[in-house]
Amino acid sequence: MADIQRIDCGPRMSQAVCYGGLIHTAGQVAMQVADGDIKAQTQAVLDAIDALLAAAGTDKSKLLTAQIWLKSMSDFAAMNEVWDAWVLQGSTPTRACVESNLALDSLKVEIAVTAAL
Amino acid sequence: MADIQRIDCGPRMSQAVCYGGLIHTAGQVAMQVADGDIKAQTQAVLDAIDALLAAAGTDKSKLLTAQIWLKSMSDFAAMNEVWDAWVLQGSTPTRACVESNLALDSLKVEIAVTAAL
Amino acid sequence: MADIQRIDCGPRMSQAVCYGGLIHTAGQVAMQVADGDIKAQTQAVLDAIDALLAAAGTDKSKLLTAQIWLKSMSDFAAMNEVWDAWVLQGSTPTRACVESNLALDSLKVEIAVTAAL
């Protein structure tokens, strides 16, 4: 479809899809720092989200929603430290954060967002 | 953005965000009755959702989607009793209900919805 | 609402809701083959999604997002075999895949999608 824009469209999934004035990202994980602690992984995930938003011509000031999956809820406070420093005051998205095992045992956090374009 | 409306916009998240004719709520939990049973917690969560929808000028007749996370799937039937009494016949949203640990050990249910404005 | 279209609108949930140029499906599970293995269940779930998309006048070429819940991440590779054969190259949606117990113990996979109409 001419009006559906897919970013990093791979054989299994696209890393983001833009349609109808919104960008939806895939769940981002920290493959490059999969041996890192929760803060390093959260920062890498948020950096990946920033890059996808930028590729679509938008940024975190237009965030609408976020879903966070933590491998262990014991990482909640440390994840939140990185999250709280990343979000823009006055522009925070909705959020749901639950505990789930992720695709690889070493992955501690996965985050997907939607934002306005 | 002038056209993104954030409800209860806190430093970590907004409780709801309205954009493009939709409201998205954050995952709602029953902090006030975190010692309550599944029915009390589910009712408190649905009351919170009703309040957010009302704050945006809409109501449960315009629900589009719901995501439900249960700490224990053994609470599925009791949660559904409260849910089934809450939804409007003819206006039920899509739903996905899965099991996940939530942010606090005492929380038994978390629900996020989207609705048309 | 005249402009919200609900497909298979039951007393608890609708199997899909169309609004604002999008279709949102409920989390689809393989009730008919709940005793099947992960590949049989994944194929049944994707068949159900195809049917919902068709009922709304769209198809998988317009997929925007997918959320996959696996009862066991040990089924990741086998689920992906069926998934990879189903998606259209050049039209893959965003995806998040996490591990969660589902409503019935026999269910191994649940998938919800959104697509453009």
Contact with chain A for residue B69, Cβ under 8 A: yes
Low-confidence residues of chain B, pLDDT below 50?
1
> Which SS3 state, helix, strand or coil, does residue B24 take?
strand
Residue A21 domain-assigned (yes or no): no
Nearest to B50 by CA among B77, B84, B3, B16: B16
Q: Do residues B1 and A63 make contact, with C-beta atoms less than 8 angstroms apart? A: no
**Tokens 């269940």 identify what position?**
C41
Q: How far is CA C108 from CA A11, A67, A110, in A?
A: 23, 22, 21
The total number of structural domains that make up chain A: 1
pLDDT > 70? residue C1:
no
Q: How far is CA B107 from CA A1, A33, B80, B102, B110, in A?
A: 43, 31, 17, 6, 8
C14, B116: Cβ pair inside 8 Å? no
Least CB-CB distance to C76: which of A1, A103, A110?
A103
pLDDT > 60? residue A2:
no
Average pLDDT, chain C: 97
Residue C1 domain-assigned (yes or no): no
pLDDT reported for residue A75 = 98
What mean pLDDT comes out for the span A79-97?
Answer: 98
B76, C103: Cβ pair inside 8 Å? yes
CATH code where residue C35 lies: 3.30.1330.40
Parallel/antiparallel/unpaired status of strands A63-70 and A94-99: parallel
Domain boundaries, position A31 = 27-116
Measured distance CA(B54)–CA(C58) in Å, rounded: 32
pLDDT > 90? residue A1:
no
Residue A17 domain-assigned (yes or no): no
C116, A10: Cβ pair inside 8 Å? no
pLDDT reported for residue B107 = 97
Residue C5 domain-assigned (yes or no): no
What mean pLDDT comes out for the span A59-83?
Answer: 98
Residue A45 domain-assigned (yes or no): yes
> Which SS3 state, helix, strand or coil, does residue C77 take?
helix
> Predicted confidence band at C26 (pLDDT cuts at 50, 70, 90)?
very high
Q: How far is CA A80 from CA A16, A29, A39, A85, A88, in A?
A: 24, 16, 9, 8, 14
Residue C3 domain-assigned (yes or no): no
Residue A53 domain-assigned (yes or no): yes
- In the Cβ-directed half-sphere of B84, how many Cα atoms lie within 13 Å? 9
Please report residues of C whose CB lies closer than 8 A to that of A17.
64-65, 93-94
Residue C11 domain-assigned (yes or no): no
Measured distance CA(C79)–CA(A9) in Å, rounded: 20
Please report residues of B whose CB lies closer than 8 A to that of C101.
73, 98-99
Give B33-60 pLDDT, tens digit per residue: 989 999 999 999 999 999 999 999 999 9
pLDDT reported for residue A46 = 98
